[in-house]
Each structure stands twice: as C-alpha cells, then as structure tokens.
Amino acid sequence: MDVFDKLNQQTLQRRDRQLFLLALGMILILGAGMALLMYPMVFGKTAGPAAPPSRALFFGFCVLCILMVAYLVNRQRVVQQLRTRLFEERGQMARLQEQSSAELLGTLLGLSHFQDRLAMDFRRTHQTNEPLSLILVRLDPAKPFAQGPQAQVALGDAAKVLGRKLRGEDSLYRLSVDVFAIVLPNTSRAVAQQAADRLSEGLADASGATNRFTAEIQVVNYPEHVTAASEMERHAAALIKRD
C-alpha cells in the first residue's frame, strides 16, 4: 500500500482526477445496471395477477441518477477552480516573500562598511577602556534550500531574526552570502554570549520544522579574546573563506 500512498505536488491533481472518474464510472455502472434490472419488471408483461411497479418510479430513479451525476460533475468543477486559485495565490505569496527577503538583504551593509565601523569602534573602545564584542553568524542551509527562491527566503527570515535582536547602538552587516556580523559596542563577553544564545533560539525557530538551515554563532570580545581590530577581522574572514 505504501506505493499507492506516495503522492507529490505534481501528481496530486492527476490522482484526484483519476479518483473522480473512477467514482463517476462506478455510479454510472450501478445506476445503469439497476435500471436494466428494473426495466423488465416495469415494461414487461407479468404472468401473475400482481400489478407491475409504477413507471413513474422507474423514470424517477433514472432522473435521480442523472441529477446525481450532474451534481458530482458540478462539484468537481468548483473544487478544481478553487484548487487552481489556491495554487495561484500560493505562488503569488511565495513571490512576495522572495521579493521582501531580497529587499531586506539588500539594505544590509557589506564587508567594507563592517571594517570601517569595527576600526572606528575599536579606536573609541581603546581610548575609553570599554569592552567591544562581535557576534559572527554563519548559516548552513539544508540541501533543498541551498539555491533558488527558497534560499533567498530562508536568508531573509534569518536576517529578520538578527535585526529584531539588535539594540539601538548595535549594527548588523552581511559579510558574504550566508555570513552575518553584529557589532556590539560597550558590551562584555558575558552579555554578548547571552545575546548570542537568544539569537540561536530565534534562528532555530526561523529554521522551522523542515530545518531550512543551521546556524553557527561565534562571540569575539575585546579585551578577553583579541587585542586588535585586525584580529576580529581575521575571525570574520575565517568564516567567509568557508563559503
């Protein structure tokens, strides 16, 4: 039975049409057979004194069968129209999601802006003896979501999660296709790690039940992990080179 239960989106409509034709054929066969069995009793000559069944009953049965078949054909046509409209709306929604994700990703600043911001924040941090943290996020999409519109939507959903978790002074950058960086001024390693844990939970929710992607998150802090902005950039570059 598993062979007959394996359906996909491409064959679902064809299987539905086949099932409808099968049901319609069975109704026609049963109705015609019943009419043939009733015909001799209604129109034939009876040998006994008993009166034959009313011809109105026979014609009523035939009309009822015809009406039932017409109703089934009409309902199938309506269902087919609704299914077509549903597929069209689903496709339109997918295109809107893709467009929204592309626009969101297009608004994120890139590697050069990240390097400028990191150097500026590091100079200010070095002068004020305040901590500076960097959160690096690398997304590894699952194979079905690695290319095409679905990949764009998945990256867009991840970027939404990263953007919602930002504070007013934080800044988000897209260093490569699937590597993001968040600069957190005046943030200790412990606070940055808490933020990274929240991001991990949010990205897991955005990945969904289909596990569209997995996220690798790194926390780099000055002065606990590095002593110069170039060292932070090397951590980011290491993730970018893995693309």
- Tokens 């002068």, residue? 127
Asked: is 108-241 a CATH 3.30.460.10 domain? The reply is no
pLDDT in tens, 170-218: 889 988 888 899 899 888 889 889 888 888 888 888 887 678 888 888 9
Whether the per-residue pLDDT at 44 is higher than 70: the answer is: no
What's 143's DSSP letter? G
- For 23, other C-beta atoms within 10 Å of its C-beta total 12
pLDDT of residue 166: 80
- What's the predicted TM-score (pTM) here? 0.63
In angstroms, the CA 131 to CA 21 distance is 72
Helix and strand counts by DSSP (H, E) for the chain: 7, 4
Q: Among 9-18, 88-97, 183-192, name the most confident range.
A: 183-192
In this predicted structure, the answer to whether residue 45 has a pLDDT above a threshold of 60 is no
Return the SS3 of 210: coil
Q: How far apart are CA 184 and CA 187, in angstroms?
A: 6
- Say how far apart CA 213 and CA 139 lie, in whole Å: 6
DSSP label at 224?
Answer: T
DSSP 69-129: HHHHHHHHHHHHHHHHHHHHHHHHHHHHHHHHHHHHHHHSB-HHHHHHHHHHHHHHHHHHT
Can you give the pLDDT at residue 43?
A: 65
Confidence (pLDDT) at 52: 57
Q: Which of 27-31, 165-169, 219-223 has the lowest mean pLDDT?
A: 27-31
